Amino acid sequence: METDRTPMLEIVDLHVRAGDREILNGLNLTIGAGEVHAIMGPNGSGKSTLAQVLAGRDGYDITRGQVTFLGQDILDLAPEERAQAGIFLAFQYPIEIPGVNNAYLLKAALNAQRKARGEPELDAFEFMRLIKDNMAQMQIHKDFLSRSVNTGFSGGEKKRNEILQMLTLQPRLALLDETDSGLDVDALKIVANGINSLRNPERSMILVTHYERLLELVEPDFVHVLAGGRIVKSGDRTLARELDERGYDWVQQEVQSA
Amino acid sequence: MTPADLNARFDEHIARLPGSTTVRAARESAFAQFIEHGFPSRKTELWRYTNIAPIVDGGFEFLPQNHAVDADARQHWLGEAGIDDEGLAVVIVDGTVADMERADAGFDVLTLSESIDRYGMQTSAAEFPSQPFAALNVAFARDGAHIRIGYGAAPGTPLHVILANSAALRCAVQPQLIVDVAQGASAKIVIHLLSDSTNASWVNLLTRVTLARDSSLELCRLQRYGSATLHTELLTAVIGKDATLKSTSLDIGGQLVRNDLQIRMQEPDSSCDLAGLVTPAIGQHIDNHVTIDHCASHSASAQHYRAIVGDRGRAVFNGKVVVHKNTVGIEAMQSSDNLLLAESGEIDTKPELEIYADDVKCSHGATIGEIDEAELFYLRARGIDEATARGLLTLGFAEKILERLPATGARSAIAAKFGLALPSDQA
Amino acid sequence: MSTEQDDVADLVQRKYQHGFVTDIDEDRVPPGLDEDVIRLISAKKREPEFLTEWRLKAYRHWLTMAEPTWAHVRYSPIDYQAISYYAAPKSNADAPQSLDEVDPKLLETYDKLGIPLHERARLAGVAVDAVFDSVSVATTFKEKLAEAGVIFCSFSEAAQNHPELVQRYLGSVVPYRDNFFAALNSAVFSDGSFVYVPPGVRCPMELSTYFRINAANTGQFERTLVVADAGSHVSYLEGCTAPMRDENQLHAAVVELVALEDAEIKYSTVQNWYPGDEEGRGGIYNFVTKRGDCRGANSKISWTQVETGSAITWKYPSCVLRGENSVGEFYSVAVANNYQQADTGTKMIHIGRNSRSTIISKGISAGHAQNAYRGLVRIMPTADDARNYTQCDSLLLGSECGAHTFPYIESRNRSARIEHEATTSKISEDQLFYCRQRGLAEEDAVNMIVNGFCREVFKELPMEFAVEAQNLLNVSLEGAVG
C-alpha cells in the first residue's frame, strides 16, 4: 500500500494532440485518495479526451507531460493494464457488443483483474452471488445479464450498466464521463446512489460533466474548470453552482484578462 | 448479326467514319477486341441475366455518315423532352447532332467529330475489356458530344442532352458523350433518351466522365423510349480528389435496356452517390450493372437502386463494390429495393462486395416483395380506397429516386404504365 | 505456382511410396482412373449391379465435364490421373499404439479445444482396438438405434443390406450430372454414412454422439445419404473440432438429405481439415456438394456449419424447398486465416407454397486469406407467399485478407418476400477498447467479440459442440491479431 502522502493520480503538464489539433495543453491535476473531483467545462474543452487518455485510448499523441497513478507512470501501459491497476472509465457512450452477453463480459473482466492481482478467479456461482446485490442496487432486472452488452439498451440502461460494472469491479479510480447525460430524474438518482455507495477513503473519482445536476447528488470535494486544454479555475462545490448560473464565458474572460 | 456480318460492315464503313489514321487504328483495335470475344453469352457471369438475342438478331443498319437534322426536328424533340426554347440543349437525332447555338453558358460543347478532329479518339476500348458493346461503340462511333466545364466554372443552369431516335429503319446508333469537368468546376447535365413509339433502333451509348480535383457533376438520365427501342450503355467515370459524382437514372421505356456503370474512385476523398429506378412491364427487360472501384483512401460510395416490375417485366440489378488493397477509411453502401406488382414479373438482384482491405465500412441490403400489407391497411383505415392506396404506395416507393430528378411528368408516366389509381390532385 | 504443384505431386507421390513400403498394395489401386478402376472399386465393395452401372454412367458423364472456375479461389491444377481411387481401410499396424506416440502439438490442440480425454486417442488415430471404452459405448448406441428402427451404417453396408433404399434415394437430390465434383464422387465414392429414419420415429439420440465415437476413416470421396421418412426427426453431426489426420489433398464429398412430409433433418458440420501451414503450403482441397430436398409438406432441413479448416473450401449446402410450408435454414461460420481460401454459402430454391428460408452467414478473414460468401435465393412462380431472410456479415482481421459477398437473388413470384442484409467491416476499435478498459487482454477481447459475432450460428449447434466450436474459433485465429 502507498503512503497517505502519495497522490492517487498526478497529472503534470499534459499535452495531447489528435491529428493536427492540440486538445490538452499543459494540464495539471493532482487527486488524493478518497477525493471526488468534478471537471466541468464548455463543449470541446477536452474533458472527454482527458478521460479517454487516462484510460489509454489509441489515436491520441501525448507530446509532453506525465501521468502517475499510485506512484506508477501509466502512459506506456495498455488499456487492460491500467484497468487491472484499478482505473475504471464509465463511458459517455457505452459500446454495444452484439452476441456477447453482459454476465459473460463482466465475469471475464472481473476474473482478468483478479488474476492480475494474484487473487483466485471466481466461479459462476460466486460471481452470481457477488453481482446480485449490485443489480438490486442499480434496479436492474436479472434477464439483463443474458442480454448482449448494451445492445438495444436505452440510454438510461446503458448508464446503469456502466455503474453496475463499476460496483462489481471496485476500481481505485473511477472516471465518470458524462454519466449524467441522457438520464431522467429517477435514473439519475439510482446512478448517483451507485456512485455514492462506492465513495471511501481508498477510492477516488473524477466526474466529467457540464451540468451541475449530478453534483447536487454526488458532492464533489473539488471542482475544476477545463477550458482551452487546461484547468483554468479550481474551487469547491460552490464553483459548480456559480457555473450553472453564469455559464462559462465569465471564467474564460477572467482567464484572458489575467 | 454475326461477328462476320459486323466485320463486313466495319470494313465497309471504316473509311467514312471520322478521324485520322491514329483514330482509325484505335477503331480497329477496339473492333478486334470485340471480335475476340464476340457477343456476350449468358454463360458469362456479367451477362447471366441478360438475353441479348434481340440485338444479335435485330438486323440493324449502321449509318456511316451524318445526315441533316432540320430545325423542326430539333424543336420537336426539345418539346418531347419538355425543354423550353431558353434551355441549353444538345440534340442528337438518330446519331447526328443537330445544329446548335454555342452560347457560352459555362459549358463548352463540341460535336464528337469536332472533338475527334481536334483531340483524337478520347475513349479506348482497352479501358473496359469486359464491355464488348462499348468496344463496338469505339469502333463505330460517329457523332455525339464532347462537353467541357472549365476551371472553376459553375453554370447556373443544367445542360440538356437529348438522344432521340425517329428513324423508321432499324438503325444501330453508336453515340458517344465525353464529359470533362475541370478542377473546381461544378455542373449539372440532364440526358434525355427518347424515341418514337414505333422506333426499333438499337442505341449503344458510351459516356465517359472525368472529374478533376474538387469538381462535382450531377448527372440525370431520363429514359423514356418507345416500347421497341433497344439500348445498351456504358458510363465510365473517373473521380478525382475531393470530387463528387451524383447520378440518377430513370428507365421507363425500351424493350431491352442494359446500363453498365463503371465508377472509379481514383483519388483520396472522392465520392459518388448513384441512384436508379427501373419500371419494366409488358415484356421489357431493364438492367443496371454497377461496378465501383475504390482505388483510393477515404473514398465513399452510395448506391440506391429500385425497381417496380409489372406484367412480364424483368428487372435486373448487379451492383459490385470493389475495395482495393492498401486503402483505408472506405465507406460503401448499396441498396436494391424491388416491388413486384405482377404475377408474371421477375426480379434478379445481385449486390456484391469484394473487399481487399480491412479499414472499411461496407453494407448492402436487398429486398423484394409486393406492397406492404400493413402500409396498405394504414391508408385504408384512413378512408382511402384500396386501389388508390396501392397507387400512392407504389409512387411513394418510386419517390425516393424521382425526387432526385427534374420534374418531367415521370410520375404520371409511371402511373399510366402500371394503371395506378391516384387521388385526382396527383394524377 | 510450380512449387504448389510440386507439393501436390509430392503428396501423391508420398502416398504412392507409402503403399509399397508397407506392402499392402493388394488393397490399393494404382493411381489413375478408367472404367476398370471403377468396376474394381465396385467389386471390392460387393456392390449390387445397379450401383456399378450408376458409377459408370457418372464416370462417363464426368469425362464430358470441365472443372468449374467461377469460384473466388485459386489453386494449381489437379492431376486426376495421379490420384489413387481405392484404398482399403488402414490396418492398425502402422498407427500409433498409444497417445505417447502422438505429436505433442496435436495433443496440445485437443487440450485447448476441451476434447474429452477418452476421445483423444481415437481422434489422434491411435490403433482402434486400444480404445476399449468407446467400442462398448458404440455397441450400446447401435442397439438403441436398432430398437427404434433407425438404420445407421456405412454406405457400403447399406448398399449390400438395404439396396432398395439406396437405389430409391441415391442421386435423387444430387444427380451425378450435377457438377464436376459431384460426378467424380458418384463415380469413385469411397464410403460414408447412410441413415434412414422410419415414419414417425424421432431418432433417440444425436447421431453426432455416436459418430464422434465411431468416426471411421471414410476416405476422400465421402458419400452420405440421410433419409427422414414422414413425420420423423433426426439430428446428425459430421466432422470434428479436432484436426483430423488425413493425407489426401483432394476431398470431394457428396451429402444428400431427403425429408419427406413433416420430417425434420438437422445437419451440423464442424470442418477442421488441415488448412496448410502459415505460408500456405499444403492443406486439403475441400470441394463438397451438399443438398437437402424438402420433398414433403411441412418438412424442414437445417444446415449448420463451422468451417475453419482446409486450404480451399468450395461448398454450398442447399435446400430445395419443394414441399408446401417447407423450411430451409443455413447457419454458417466460415473462418479463413493465413493463406486459406473459402468460397462457401448456400442455395435456397423455393418451389412449394409458403416455403420459408433463413440464411445466417458469418465470415471471418485473417492473415492473407480470401473468404467469400456465395448464395442463391430463387423463388419459383409456384412458391406463393415464400419468404427468405438473409443476414450475411463479414469481419476482417488484418489488412492483407479479403472478404467477399456474392448473393444472387431471383424472384418470380409476386407474393414472395425477400430480405437480404450484408455488412463488412473490421473488428471495432471501440468494442476492443471497451473490453480492454474493463481489464481484458487484447487477444481475449478479440476472441470475445468474434465469438459474439458468431453467436447466432453457434447457438444452432448441438449443445456439447457449441463450446468446442468457440474454442476452435479461438485456436483457428491464434496469431491473427496483435
Mean pLDDT by 10 residues, chain A (258 residues): 70 94 94 95 89 92 95 93 94 90 90 92 90 90 88 90 94 94 89 93 92 89 92 91 86 79
Chain C CB contacts of B345 below 8 Å:
412, 414
**pLDDT band at residue C16 under the 50/70/90 scheme:** very low
The residue type at C367: G
Are residues C438 and A105, on separate chains, in Cβ contact within 8 Å?
A: yes
Going from the C-alpha of C67 to that of each of C46, C59, C252, the distances in angstroms are: 30, 14, 12
Chains with ≥3 CB–CB distances under 8 Å to B: C
Coil vs helix vs strand at C423: strand
Q: What ipTM does this complex have? A: 0.89
Confidence band for B71, pLDDT divided at 50, 70 and 90: confident
Amino acid in position C332: S
In this structure, the number of other CB atoms found within 10 A of the CB of residue B385 comes to: 12
Which chain A residues in 108-147 lie under 8 Å from chain C, judged by CB atoms?
108-110, 112-113, 116
Between CA B88 and CA A213 the distance in angstroms is 62
A89-113 tens-digit pLDDT: 999 999 998 888 889 889 989 999 9
User: Which of the four pLDDT bands, split at 50, 70 and 90, describes residue B365?
Assistant: very high
Query: Choosing among B308, B320, B356, which should be mutated to test the C contact, i.e. which has the most C CBs within 10 A?
Result: B356
The residue assigned the cell 442494359 is: B258
Beta strand B159-165 pairing with A36-40: unpaired
Among chain A residues, CA nearest to C454:
A99
CB nearest to B348's CB, from C400, C410, C416? C410
Confidence band of C134 (pLDDT split at 50, 70, 90) = very low
A99: left (phi over 0), alpha (psi -120 to 50) or beta: left
* Beta strand segments in chain A, E: 9-18, 21-31, 36-40, 61-69, 72-73, 87-90, 97-101, 148-149, 173-177, 204-208, 222-227, 230-235
Please tell me which of the candidates A89, A148, A149 has its beta carbon nearest to residue C437: A89
Q: Is the pLDDT of residue B135 over 80?
A: yes
Residue type, B346: E
Q: A2-95+157-257 belongs to which CATH class?
A: alpha beta
**pLDDT band (50, 70, 90) for residue B382:** confident
User: Which DSSP symbol is given to B237?
Assistant: E
Which is nearest to C217 in space by CA: C28, C89, C86, C87? Answer: C89
- Whether residue C394 and residue B353 make contact (CB cut-off 8 A), yes or no, is yes
- The helix or strand, by DSSP H or E, that contains position C157, with its residue range, turns out to be helix C155-161
Question: Domain residue spans in chain B?
Answer: 3-267, 380-427
C384: which chain B residues are within 8 Å (Cβ-Cβ)? Answer: none
Instruction: Scan for cell 425516393, then name that residue.
Output: B400
- The tens digit of pLDDT for each residue in B112-133 reads 999 999 998 988 889 999 999 9
- Judged by a CB distance cut-off of 8 A, whether residue C389 touches chain B is no
Phi (first) and psi of residue A149, to 5 degrees: -50, 115
- Which range among B45-59, B203-217, C465-479 has the greatest average pLDDT? B203-217
Shortest Cα distance from C302 to chain B (angstroms)? 23
Q: Domain spans of chain A?
A: 2-95+157-257
What single string gives the DSSP state of each residue in C185-207? HHHH----EEEEE-TT-B-SS-H
pLDDT of residue C280: 80
Rounded to a whole number, what is the distance in Å from the CA of B154 to chain C's nearest CA? 37
- Distance between first and last Cα of chain C: 30
Other CB atoms within a 10 A radius of the CB of residue B65 amount to 12
What is the predicted pLDDT for the residue at C30?
A: 79
Lowest-confidence range among A5-9, B158-162, B335-339, B415-419? A5-9
Q: Name the residue in chain C with its Cα closest to that of A162.
A: C438
Q: Distance (Å, rounded) from C-alpha A120 to C-alpha A114?
A: 7
Report pLDDT for B87.
66
Distance CA B61, CA C144 (A): 78
- pLDDT of C125 over the 90 cut: no
Q: What pLDDT sits at residue C130?
A: 34
CA distance B358 to C424: 9
Residues of chain C with C-beta less than 8 angstroms from the C-beta of B47: none
Q: Residue C177 in 3-state DSSP? A: coil
Record the pTM.
0.87
C 421-450 residues with CB < 8 A to B? 421-426
Residue identified by cell 484510460 is A55
- Nearest beta carbon to residue A108 from set C433, C440, C456: C440
Judge whether C418 is closer than 8 Å to chain B, CB to CB. Answer: yes
Contact C125, C92 (CB under 8 A): no
Pairwise CA distance, residues A235 & A223, whole Å: 5
Residue C439 three-state SS: coil
C428 contacts chain A (CB < 8 A): yes
Record the cell numbers describing residue C322, joined without a space. 419443394
pLDDT the model gives residue C32: 87
Crossing angle, helix C49-63 and helix C180-188, to 10 degrees? 150
pLDDT value for A1 = 41
Are the beta carbons of A100 and C437 separated by less than 8 Å? no
Are C441 and A79 within 8 A, CB to CB?
no
Q: Which of B66-75, B185-194, B316-325 has the lowest mean pLDDT?
A: B66-75
Please choose, from the candidates C238, C237, C16, C217, the residue with its C-alpha nearest in 3D space to the C-alpha of residue C127. Answer: C217
Residue numbers in C near B367 (CB within 8 A): 417-420
pLDDT score of B21 = 87
Selecting from A56, A97, A169 the residue whose C-beta is nearest the C-beta of C431 gives: A97
Residues 6 or more apart from C417 whose CB is under 8 A from it? B367, B368, B369, B370, C386, C387, C388
Q: Which chain C residues are within 8 Å of A74, Cβ to Cβ?
A: none
Q: Which pLDDT value is given to residue C206? A: 80
Measured CA to CA, the distance from residue C82 to residue C78 in angstroms comes to: 8
Burial call C198-223: b when 16+ CB within 10 Å, e when fewer: beebebeebbbebbbbbbeebbbbbb
- pLDDT band, very low/low/confident/very high, at C255 (cuts 50, 70, 90): very high
Closest partner residue to C449 among A55, A89, A97, by Cβ?
Answer: A97
